[in-house]
């Protein structure tokens, strides 16, 4: 009815300034997205920056895959730093190495113009959400076009500033949370799938279950990451009893242990921006304040890389690992239903936990960090590998990735800092004495060549 201000502004751009832009259109009247970006960036049109940014984002969303790729390639090629200026300034600095203003200038001219472009796109209403989605597209292209990584770095740089922990808001999610947020929890849960609303209610609507999430004001109703917590009376060794319908509910006050049994990142477009570390620690703080009876904070975690590593290790020429598993055990392991075979299970129990302890504490990547990504995350946070659990996850996925093993990482406030320091300095993986003993049964193998 009464057109919006920005709508009208846009119309006025269309009528006046578009002539200018139109010159650049192809024969088919193709959308000159890059020209709009250039207009937005050069500030010709500053008065209407909001409108222009909205226009760019809206056009982008309607592009098909091929044109999106072509847009990203333009970002790579046309919106980098001005190379001539960089070289020129570098040369000048070479001549006058003490000139501080040259230094500042060097930093400024070497910033890819994409960064300012992305900042200005964020002016549009809903801009942040659209940019996160844009990066999600970009990540898809990255495999085929690894050199788009330069573009991605600029997104990552800005997102890590915008999604600084200082801007995040933690909220408890429970059964009085709006349904449009709850349905996202169902959709995003990546570790232990939620089978519909009744299953969800069991995870958030009971006295001994909690779910906490980080939100960002600019994404409104969307979540960044969430963690699911079970309040228990002991450190659990298996996921089944946590998730089952048939279990005895306790009151929150009866619990002495908080178990983090699932952490899910929700935004593919924010890959590489770390929230989990902060979320776990803030949840620990929140729970300690609310429930002083809680003494132990621990995870119940998968070992996603164990089976793959083991399979490679068995083929390794060295044979140290292979020596741990005789033919009998290897063949037992190849039976899909081996956990139902008591004898086979008994045999495997004598060796798999040792190998897992070895894998988690000693097998490292090029940067001297644990091979296993989940271990890398929790050990990096200062947690300690507390226990290896036999028959912890008998789901098909659990068997496939870790031969049914699960582990606990312990968040002990007294040691978090010390653990982290040792890890940062020497790559030491903090582990309980029980786990250390388990690992010792396996000879200190020479490291496999890391896969990635």
Handedness of CA 389, 391, 395, 397 (dihedral sign): positive
Would you say 285 or 349 has its CB closer to a copy of itself? 285
378 is catalytic: yes
Q: Please give the Cα distance from 321 to 439 (Å, whole number).
A: 12
Would you say 218 or 250 has its CB closer to a copy of itself? 218
User: Helix (H, G, I), strand (E, B), or coil: what is residue 32?
Assistant: coil
Tokens read off for 24: 């650049």
- Min. distance of Cβ 220 from a copy of itself in angstroms? 11
Would you say 189 or 393 has its CB closer to a copy of itself? 189
Would you say 291 or 394 has its CB closer to a copy of itself? 291
Would you say 169 or 400 has its CB closer to a copy of itself? 169
Count of CB atoms situated within 10 Å of the CB of 255: 23
* Sequence-distant (≥ 6) Cβ neighbours of residue 60 within 8 angstroms: 33, 68, 71, 130, 134
CA 251 to chain centre: 32
Handedness of CA 172, 177, 178, 179 (dihedral sign): positive
The runs of H, that is alpha helices, within 63-98 are 65-78, 83-95
Q: Please give the Cα distance from 239 to 396 (Å, whole number).
A: 13
- Min. distance of Cβ 302 from a copy of itself in angstroms? 22
Would you say 197 or 315 has its CB closer to a copy of itself? 197
User: Helix (H, G, I), strand (E, B), or coil: what is residue 67?
Assistant: helix
Active-site residue, selected from the candidate residues 48, 264, 301, 403: 301
Tokens read off for 437: 């003993």
- Min. distance of Cβ 284 from a copy of itself in angstroms? 5
Would you say 206 or 322 has its CB closer to a copy of itself? 206
- Min. distance of Cβ 282 from a copy of itself in angstroms? 8
State the pairing for strand pair 406-410/384-389: antiparallel
Would you say 44 or 233 has its CB closer to a copy of itself? 44
Q: Please give the Cα distance from 141 to 117 (Å, whole number).
A: 20
- Min. distance of Cβ 205 from a copy of itself in angstroms? 8
- Min. distance of Cβ 19 from a copy of itself in angstroms? 12
CA 105 to chain centre: 35
User: Helix (H, G, I), strand (E, B), or coil: what is residue 226?
Assistant: strand
Active-site residue, selected from the candidate residues 192, 358, 378, 403: 378
**Sheet-wide strand order for 384-389:** 169-172, 209-215, 223-232, 257-265, 296-299, 406-410, 384-389
- Min. distance of Cβ 155 from a copy of itself in angstroms? 13
Q: Please give the Cα distance from 94 to 107 (Å, whole number).
A: 15
Would you say 49 or 240 has its CB closer to a copy of itself? 49
Count of CB atoms situated within 10 Å of the CB of 158: 18
- Min. distance of Cβ 236 from a copy of itself in angstroms? 22
- Min. distance of Cβ 337 from a copy of itself in angstroms? 34
Q: Which residues of 171-207 are buried (b: 16+ CB within 10 A; e: fewer)?
A: eebeeeeeeeebebbeebbebbebeeeeebebbbebe
Cα–Cα distances in angstroms (integers) from residue 340 to residues 105, 234, 330, 344, 391, in the given order: 69, 26, 16, 8, 11
Cα–Cα distances in angstroms (integers) from residue 381 to residues 10, 80, 398, 412, in the given order: 48, 35, 24, 11
State the pairing for strand pair 384-389/257-265: unpaired
Active site residues: 301, 378
């Amino acid at each position: 009815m009464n057109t919006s201000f920005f709508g009208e502004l846009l119309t006025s751009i269309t009528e006046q300034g578009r002539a200018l832009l139109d010159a650049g259109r192809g024969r088919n009247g193709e959308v000159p997205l890059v020209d709009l970006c250039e207009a937005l960036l050069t500030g010709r049109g500053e008065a209407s920056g909001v409108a222009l940014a909205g226009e760019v984002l809206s056009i982008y969303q309607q592009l098909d895959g091929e044109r999106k790729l072509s847009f990203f390639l333009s970002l790579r090629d046309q919106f980098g730093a001005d190379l001539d200026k960089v070289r020129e300034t570098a040369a000048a600095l070479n001549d006058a190495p003490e000139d501080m203003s040259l230094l500042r200038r060097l930093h400024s001219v070497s910033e890819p113009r994409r960064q300012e472009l992305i900042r200005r796109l964020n002016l549009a209403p809903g801009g942040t959400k659209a940019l996160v989605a844009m990066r999600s597209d970009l990540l898809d292209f990255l495999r085929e076009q690894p050199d788009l990584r330069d573009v991605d770095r600029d997104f990552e740089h800005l997102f890590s500033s915008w999604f600084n922990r200082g801007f995040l808001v933690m909220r408890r999610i429970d059964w009085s949370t709006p349904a449009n947020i709850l349905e996202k929890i169902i959709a995003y849960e990546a570790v232990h799938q939620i089978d519909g609303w009744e299953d969800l209610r069991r995870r958030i609507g009971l006295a001994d279950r909690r779910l906490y999430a980080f939100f960002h004001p600019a994404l409104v109703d969307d979540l960044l990451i969430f963690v699911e917590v079970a309040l228990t009376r002991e450190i659990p060794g298996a996921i089944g009893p946590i998730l089952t319908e048939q279990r005895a509910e306790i009151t929150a006050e009866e619990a002495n242990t908080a178990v983090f049994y699932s952490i899910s990142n929700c935004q593919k477009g924010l890959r590489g921006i770390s929230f989990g570390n902060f979320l776990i620690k803030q949840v620990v703080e929140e729970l300690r304040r609310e429930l002083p009876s809680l003494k132990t904070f621990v995870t119940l975690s998968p070992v996603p890389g164990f089976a793959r590593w083991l399979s490679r290790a068995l083929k390794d020429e060295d044979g140290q690992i292979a020596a741990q598993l005789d033919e009998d055990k290897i063949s037992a392991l190849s039976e899909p239903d081996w956990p139902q075979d008591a004898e086979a299970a008994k045999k495997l129990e004598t060796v798999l936990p040792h190998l897992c302890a070895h894998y988690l504490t000693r097998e490292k990547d090029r940067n001297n960090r644990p091979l296993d990504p989940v271990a890398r995350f929790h050990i990096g946070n200062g947690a300690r590998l507390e226990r290896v659990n036999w028959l912890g996850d008998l789901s098909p996925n659990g068997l496939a990735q870790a031969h049914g093993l699960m582990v606990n990482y312990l968040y002990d406030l007294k040691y978090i800092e010390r653990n982290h320091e040792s890890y940062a300095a020497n790559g030491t993986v903090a582990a309980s004495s029980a786990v250390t003993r388990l690992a010792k049964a396996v000879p200190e193998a020479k490291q496999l060549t890391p896969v990635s």
